[in-house]
A and B are shown apart, each in its own frame.
Chain A
Amino acid sequence: MPRYLGLVAALVALVAIVFTVKLYFGASGPPASRLAGGGGPAMLAGAPAQSYPVKTLDGATAGLDRYRGSVVLVNLWASWCAPCRSETPALERLYRDERGKGFTVLGIDQGESTEAAGAFAKQMNLSYPILVDEDQRYGRAYAAIGLPTSLVVDRTGHIVRGIDGELTLAQMHEAVDPLLRARE
């Protein structure tokens, strides 16, 4: 057998073996911070914000993507949720104060009927847009581990922060003001 044939075969074999073994030590997944499931909404920072078409209070269809280009404070809520009811006045105040700066609050009701969501919005005198997500798709996609859940979405449609639980007006400002100032 020509000597070079054996050498070439041995070299190819060595490379294949080293590469194969190295693969088992080199496997690594996408950063966990970009994936939903088990970690709560805070783990979503940096991920693209999912958008699903759902009902609006007036019976039309819309999703989060309608607000691309604005800073959006997405708030997942339900009418039976006491902390959601408690934080609603602060959300309304924030919306009224900042809506002229390319900002909106987007309330997304989880799992209830349009009537229930509409009655709540009317009772609380809400003027910010409300979506009704009967199938709770946003809640799953945004890794909600309770209600309310809030997410700050930047103008490019990426999640900047995911927050579990009730927020005060000061905490809301702390979350969205840097993004609003970035435009000025």
Chain B
Amino acid sequence: MTFDMTTNRAVALASAVGGMLLVFAQDVYPAWSGFHAWQYTAALTLAAIAVVGYALGARKGTDGDVGTRIVIAAIGATVVIVAGIASGLLGPDTETVARTPGTVAPLPDVGAAGFFPVADPATIERGDAHVEIRRRDGSSVDIPPGARRFVGTTAIETTPEVAAYVEARQPNGSRLTITQPQNTSFLSPVLLFPERVPIGGVVFPADGFATPAIQRQIKAFYFSKAEVAKSTHGTPGKEAVLLAVDDENGKLIQSGIGIVPSGADATIGGIRFRVAAGTYPALLISAVPYPPALWIGGLLFVGGLAYAYSYARPVAA
């Protein structure tokens, strides 16, 4: 064994450990876009070249008995690194899937469908809706708010997004149908505020809906608790929604603008509104390395190292 081979072994082991840590990082921070960048793939490729290059030489005995035995660990590291390269190169970019309550979203990259549960006003205010992922084989995975689950080669987590459940009534109490012509879910009373609109230097989540029975179009802006605290309107400690009521021509009607605190009633532009503001989950879907490959590769690496150093013959004096 030469000094050069000892150095090569150290470089190979460092590359293996570094590469594997980079791959395992995908499971810890799966949404980071850097995993799909060429620099990430290049770093893993260099690590794989260092490991495989060393292993090819060591297999022939150029690094003595330890080197011959360490080939198993090198194979394990290569499996993990290739799994990381495959995920970074071939896995889809991180995607957010938001749907209204009571609808289903196809998730082709997962080979499953996301079932967004029906949510009443109280559920929106509490923000505790769970999303269910159903796979083709009939199995399902429940994802509570803020949790992350691994399904095949994807990590799926729920992120709370601002939402508001809106009820609209005529002055006599008769309920009005809510429609969202610009939304994929036309008949939904739940606003998901997909737009961001700057007002007075502050960016507010914004959405819109209509009450076709009385030909009104309503713009809605979400006020967080922090924004409510800064303003003179709303109820401190509660979210609120600012509503602006337009006629069928898009012209603001008289007394057609006001703030509705969450859980309270307010009459704006002749319509009695009740709003429950809070959150509803969206799915954040990210590619991750295939878990069995990580397990197999990790076990081969650890087992291979143990085998190499436990059974290595002492160097003859």
**In the bound complex, do residue A37 and residue B106 qualify as a contact, i.e. CB atoms below 8 Å apart?**
yes
Centre residue among A38, A112, A136 by max chain B CB count within 10 A: A136
Q: Does B108 count as interface, using CB distance less than 8 angstroms?
A: yes
Q: Does B271 count as interface, using CB distance less than 8 angstroms?
A: no
Centre residue among A9, A78, A145, A147 by max chain B CB count within 10 A: A9
**In the bound complex, do residue A13 and residue B300 qualify as a contact, i.e. CB atoms below 8 Å apart?**
yes
Q: Does B224 count as interface, using CB distance less than 8 angstroms?
A: no
**In the bound complex, do residue B187 and residue A24 qualify as a contact, i.e. CB atoms below 8 Å apart?**
no
- Considering the chains assembled together, what is the distance between the CA atoms of A141 and B185 in angstroms? 9
Chain B interface size, as a band, is 35 or more
- Considering the chains assembled together, what is the distance between the CA atoms of A13 and B297 in angstroms? 7
Set B78, B189, B289, B297: member contacting A136, Cβ < 8 A: B189
- Considering the chains assembled together, what is the distance between the CA atoms of A81 and B186 in angstroms? 14
Min Cβ gap B122→A in Å is 12
Mark the stretch among A25-33, A64-72, A176-184 that contacts chain B.
Answer: A25-33
Min Cβ gap B70→A in Å is 9
Give chain B residues whose Cβ lies under 8 Å from the Cβ of A144: 186-187
**In the bound complex, do residue B153 and residue A16 qualify as a contact, i.e. CB atoms below 8 Å apart?**
no
Q: Does A170 count as interface, using CB distance less than 8 angstroms?
A: no
**In the bound complex, do residue A112 and residue B111 qualify as a contact, i.e. CB atoms below 8 Å apart?**
no
- Considering the chains assembled together, what is the distance between the CA atoms of A112 and B136 in angstroms? 37
- Considering the chains assembled together, what is the distance between the CA atoms of A20 and B152 in angstroms? 10
Give chain A residues whose Cβ lies under 8 Å from the Cβ of B111: 27-29
**In the bound complex, do residue B82 and residue A20 qualify as a contact, i.e. CB atoms below 8 Å apart?**
yes
Residue of B nearest to A80 (CB): B213
Mark the stretch among B10-18, B32-40, B171-179, B259-267 that contacts chain A.
Answer: B171-179
Q: Does A12 count as interface, using CB distance less than 8 angstroms?
A: yes
Q: Does B158 count as interface, using CB distance less than 8 angstroms?
A: no
Given contacts A24-B90, A27-B152, contact A111 B136 (CB under 8 A): no
**In the bound complex, do residue B293 and residue A20 qualify as a contact, i.e. CB atoms below 8 Å apart?**
yes
Set B76, B214, B287: member contacting A13, Cβ < 8 A: B76
Min Cβ gap B159→A in Å is 19
**In the bound complex, do residue B187 and residue A23 qualify as a contact, i.e. CB atoms below 8 Å apart?**
no
**In the bound complex, do residue A52 and residue B75 qualify as a contact, i.e. CB atoms below 8 Å apart?**
no
Give chain B residues whose Cβ lies under 8 Å from the Cβ of A36: 103-104
Centre residue among A16, A81, A115 by max chain B CB count within 10 A: A16
**In the bound complex, do residue A19 and residue B213 qualify as a contact, i.e. CB atoms below 8 Å apart?**
no
Give chain B residues whose Cβ lies under 8 Å from the Cβ of A157: none
Give chain A residues whose Cβ lies under 8 Å from the Cβ of B43: none
Q: Does B112 count as interface, using CB distance less than 8 angstroms?
A: yes
**In the bound complex, do residue A136 and residue B300 qualify as a contact, i.e. CB atoms below 8 Å apart?**
no
Q: Does A140 count as interface, using CB distance less than 8 angstroms?
A: yes
Q: Does A85 count as interface, using CB distance less than 8 angstroms?
A: no
**In the bound complex, do residue B107 and residue A37 qualify as a contact, i.e. CB atoms below 8 Å apart?**
no
Centre residue among A5, A21, A29, A140 by max chain B CB count within 10 A: A140
Set B110, B120, B296: member contacting A29, Cβ < 8 A: B110
Give chain A residues whose Cβ lies under 8 Å from the Cβ of B113: 29-30, 35
**In the bound complex, do residue A116 and residue B175 qualify as a contact, i.e. CB atoms below 8 Å apart?**
yes
Interface residues of A (CB under 8 A from B): 1, 5-6, 9-10, 12-13, 16-17, 19-21, 23-25, 27-30, 32, 35-38, 52, 76, 78-81, 110-113, 115-116, 134-137, 139-141, 143-147
Q: List 26 A-B contacts (CB under 8 A).
A: A1-B72, A5-B72, A13-B76, A13-B78, A16-B293, A17-B86, A20-B82, A20-B289, A21-B90, A24-B91, A28-B108, A29-B109, A30-B113, A30-B134, A30-B136, A36-B104, A37-B105, A37-B184, A78-B212, A111-B177, A113-B173, A139-B186, A139-B187, A140-B187, A144-B187, A147-B187
Interface residues of B (CB under 8 A from A): 59, 65, 68-69, 71-72, 75-76, 78-79, 82-83, 86-87, 90-91, 99-113, 118, 120, 134, 136, 152-153, 173-178, 184-189, 212-214, 287, 289-290, 292-293, 296-297, 300, 304
